[in-house]
Each structure stands twice: as structure tokens, then as C-alpha cells.
């Protein structure tokens, strides 16, 4: 997810990039070698090739934007965050039974614990046509619910509580150097305290079926370019009708 926080922290935009998107990947250094650049490869191959660093470089090449910060949380940290909040109330859109993500959820609004929430955001085969687009919609639904849950607690307004939580999550987080200390993470988290869920615009990068492979997608132009340009200029995103309803 590419997150843009508007000037003045007045609102934010979140752009999900489907893992099946075909992109150009730059050369990525690893601890032992350099993975050569590649054209028209799946977006998630960047993480496989060089972890967070390669993923950031690929997003920057795709979007033309500089990523100022990056945060990665592992499965254990994700579950711990949800459980520390006392669970997250989510409106599950349909019954989900996915043996791959181990998600077994019933339709309706319910409070999910960490294990259940992880199953929800990982499920792919349990919704829609099994593509990543269905999973992204569930992830965005969960993220909105998570923001609402955080805003309903004292987490962001209580520096001691926030510091303790982030300290507990340290081993589960990977960040850039700018957010590489507990004080920096705490300060950043508190800086977005004023954002409610309805002030965060969640979108999926506009994509279309790839001509060379119907099981893959490519950025849909000019809609995708318009999304990146809006973020670059700190403007609201194009209307959903303008970007193809994503």
C-alpha cells in the first residue's frame, strides 16, 4: 500500500498495488549479489528478489514518486497489534471459508481477534474470482475498521501507551532509518491522530487485464498516471468514475 498524507495532515490517500500487476523491476542489490532488472514481471517478485528495499525501488519506478518512509509488519506483529486493541470490529461482506489463509468467518459485523483478522486480510481464494482484487477490497475494509478502532481508544493520545505498544512490536517491524527509533515511530503515529477513517481515501491502482496473460493485470492508462500525479501534487485523487471505478 502506498500511503500519501496530505500537507497539514488534513487527509490521506492509500493506493493498493495488486500483486499480479506486471511492472518493470529495477536492478536490486542483495547481501550477496545484485538481482538484474527485469521487464513485465509480477509486482510481488520485487519483494522476493530483494525484500523491502527492492519493493520500494520498484514502486518508485512505477509511480515516479519518492517514498519517504516504509513500514513492514510481520504476521506475528499484525496479530499482536489487533489483540492489543482488543480486537477490531469488521463488517465481513460474505461467509468466508479459505483453507489457504485458514479464514473461517461468517457474514456480518463482528469483532475479530488477531488470528481471525490475519486470515481475513490474507484470504484470496475465499472471495470473488480468487484474484488479488477481491483480497485488496477486504484489506481496505479492514484498514478502515482498524483506523476507527484506534481512534476509539486512547492509543494515539497517550504517549506512554503508544510507546509501550511500539516497543512490544519492535521485533515485528522493519522500517527505514528515518523511522528507525521508537521516538520517531511514536512521533509519526501521534502526528496523524486527527485522521478519521472517512478522511482516508482507499483506492486500488487502476488496472486492466494484461494483453499477454489474462491472469495478470497492467496499470490502466491514463487513469493510473493520473492517480500518481495527484499524489505528487498533493491533490485529491481523481473521482472513481474518472479512474474506472476502482
- CATH number at 21 reads 3.40.630.190
In a domain, residue 240? The reply is: no
29: helix, strand or coil: strand
* Cα dihedral 138/140/145/147 (nearest 10): 160
What count of Cα atoms within 13 Å lies in the side-chain half-sphere of residue 1? 20
In a domain, residue 241? The reply is: no
In a domain, residue 72? The reply is: yes
> So what's the pLDDT on residue 243?
55
Identify whether the C-beta of residue 20 lies closer than 8 Å to the C-beta of residue 216. yes
C-alpha cell at 53: 528495499
Mean pLDDT of 97-115: 92
In a domain, residue 227? The reply is: yes
Q: How confident is the model at residue 100 (pLDDT cuts 50, 70, 90)?
A: confident
Domain count, the chain: 1
In a domain, residue 243? The reply is: no
Mean pLDDT of 153-180: 90
Identify whether the C-beta of residue 138 lies closer than 8 Å to the C-beta of residue 121. yes
What is the pTM for the complete model shown? 0.91
Q: Which domain holds residue 168?
A: 2-232
In a domain, residue 244? The reply is: no
In a domain, residue 42? The reply is: yes
CA torsion sign for 30, 218, 102, 109 is positive
C-alpha cell at 207: 488496472
Amino acid at each position: 500500500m502506498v500511503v500519501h498524507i496530505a500537507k497539514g495532515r488534513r487527509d490521506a490517500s492509500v493506493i493498493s498495488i495488486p500483486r499480479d500487476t506486471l511492472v518493470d523491476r529495477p536492478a536490486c542489490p542483495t547481501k550477496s549479489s545484485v538481482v538484474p532488472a527485469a521487464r513485465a514481471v509480477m509486482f510481488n517478485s520485487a519483494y522476493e528478489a530483494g525484500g523491502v528495499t527492492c519493493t520500494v525501488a520498484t514502486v518508485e519506478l512505477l509511480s515516479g514518486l519518492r517514498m519517504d518512509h516504509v513500514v513492514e509488519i510481520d504476521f506475528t506483529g499484525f496479530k499482536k497489534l489487533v489483540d492489543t486493541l482488543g480486537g477490531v470490529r469488521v463488517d465481513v461482506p460474505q461467509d468466508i471459508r479459505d483453507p489457504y489463509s485458514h479464514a473461517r468467518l461468517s457474514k456480518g459485523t463482528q469483532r475479530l481477534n488477531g488470528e481471525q483478522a490475519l486470515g481475513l486480510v490474507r484470504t484470496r481464494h475465499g472471495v470473488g474470482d480468487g484474484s488479488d482484487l477481491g483480497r485488496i477490497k477486504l484489506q481496505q475494509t479492514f484498514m478502515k475498521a482498524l483506523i476507527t478502532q484506534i481512534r476509539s481508544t486512547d492509543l494515539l493520545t497517550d504517549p506512554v501507551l503508544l510507546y509501550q505498544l511500539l516497543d512490544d512490536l519492535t521485533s515485528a517491524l522493519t522500517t527505514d532509518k528515518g523511522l528507525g527509533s521508537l521516538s520517531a515511530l511514536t512521533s509519526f503515529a501521534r502526528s496523524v491522530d486527527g485522521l478519521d477513517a472517512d478522511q482516508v481515501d482507499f483506492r486500488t491502482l487502476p488496472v486492466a487485464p494484461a494483453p499477454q496473460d489474462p491472469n495478470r493485470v497492467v496499470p490502466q492508462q491514463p487513469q493510473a498516471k493520473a492517480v500518481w500525479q495527484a499524489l505528487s501534487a498533493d491533490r485529491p485523487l481523481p473521482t472513481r468514475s474518472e479512474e474506472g471505478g476502482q
